[in-house]
A and B are shown apart, each in its own frame.
Chain A
């Protein structure tokens, strides 16, 4: 099955036909390509989490169509038969650790696959493998998830989603609250899953460095609408625009601009520390040759 996810003129209104009706998404058109690493950015309240919940039909559009692989989801789509979609598209919500509930970590991670009929040795293996992917060894199996630190609880919750073996992994600010090393490890882990197993990643983040380092496509939301989308290079070129939008700019790009203000000239504007170092190296070597 081709797992492209497509939004066509999608709108979503919370509590429609009531005085509290609130239009959280309007006229969204976008495609999340199978095998891509797509970043979704935008201010708090811009509709990112609402959009994510459309990716596995947890909520259905109140206008337009969402195509998940070959499934069409509209307002009228009945709630049954959505199990397959939910298995293919795994969502890691914000603060997923809040949803842990079993008395051991093994049971918690097993909950999803068990629901889909996995059992016995296969279940044991998938639980172990998933925990290993998030960097927790077998010694954690029998422990209670509630005596772990926040970061470890987060990993357990992510393992629970990975245990479903989704082909699309949707991450809603997955590193919020982790320390920088934990953040780096977790982002590395998602990237490995993407590279080695071809998992499509949809990442909601406020960290432009993560977008620059990992994503191959960026979607910018503002007040429920897509206001820009494209390759990171395209979206980040207009730093002036990003700054007025208060969305943040990658650290390497900001630093490159400080260098430009001092007199440096770059062929292309660097987005990552590596690119910046390469550009600087070129310049330093060139100026070495001229003397």
Chain B
């Protein structure tokens, strides 16, 4: 299978004369239908990398390709048709005067006929459960509602790739679950490729592979199991510790020894249960 996104040794600085690279020698491939989670501390370069993939920024050296097409000024509009992006702060991404108009905006740009547009807008709003708010002004929605509309705007374009740049970080648990569930469904139905930038360990667990960024470099690539077994080092990677690891730390402080290897929640329950019987 050919990759849908390839990154070939890309490097980037925000100012030519800056000492620090925002991205340094990044290489990697992402395949159609994959779910990739990008993790790393604030400032590690995750958003910069995302902007490289949809051409909001172009690398100073190296090459990004989407669908075998180099991302450059010439191809930018084609790239934007295949890569949709939802940002963290919903307030900066609205243009329409109603929710409906806003979702339609991206489609108007891509020359979709009027009748199909109406269908796609309704479809997208239903998917994110915001149909009831069709005629409302985006500015009057609360944060999580805005974010769902922003996601609808991307879904309506039916891109091949959706990038969620910490897009669920301000949703409530219910909203977060609904959005992730929606994304999962779309991924199944349309073989969507998902790139989610996240600090949420449960969201990262949905991914096929995790990319770990640190100071502009891609330092690890692995499955969730592989990456989660780094234990306490996960904090350095911008993720929270899995709950069993947190509990181990507290138990150790009370003088109770715990296994050194990584335990899932079920594993931890079993270990505690056995310990309580065998003492």
Contacts and interface: CB of A to CB of B under 8 A. Distances in A.
B166 interface: yes
A43 B250 contact: no
B219 interface: no
Interface residues of B, number: 47
Nearest to B236: A181
A58 interface: no
Interface in A160-191: 173, 176-182
Contacts of B166: 177
Given A284-B276, A288-B279, A180 B240 contact: yes
A95 B89 contact: yes
B239 A44 contact: no
Chain B at the A interface: mostly helix, strand, loop or mixed?
helix
B240 A248 contact: no
Contacts of B243: 251-252, 255, 273
B42 A151 contact: yes
Contacts of B14: 147
B246 interface: yes
B106 interface: no
A14 interface: yes
A44 B143 contact: yes
A1 B272 CA distance: 52
A44 B238 CA distance: 26
- What band does the interface of chain A fall in when counting residues whose beta carbon is under 8 Å from B? 35 or more
Given A45-B142, A95-B91, A181-B41, A281 B256 contact: yes
Interface stretch (B57-65, B66-74, B96-104, B171-179): B171-179
A233 interface: no
Interface of B: 14, 41-43, 88-89, 91-92, 140-145, 166, 169-175, 177, 199, 235, 238-240, 243, 246-247, 250-251, 253-256, 265, 268-270, 272-273, 275-277, 279
Interface of A: 14, 22, 42-45, 49, 94-95, 98, 147, 149-152, 173, 176-182, 206, 246-248, 251-252, 255, 258-259, 262-264, 273-274, 276-278, 280-281, 283-284, 287-288, 291
25 contacts: A14-B140, A43-B174, A43-B175, A44-B145, A44-B175, A94-B170, A98-B92, A150-B88, A152-B42, A178-B42, A179-B41, A179-B42, A181-B238, A182-B41, A206-B172, A246-B174, A247-B172, A255-B268, A264-B272, A278-B254, A281-B251, A281-B256, A283-B276, A284-B276, A287-B279
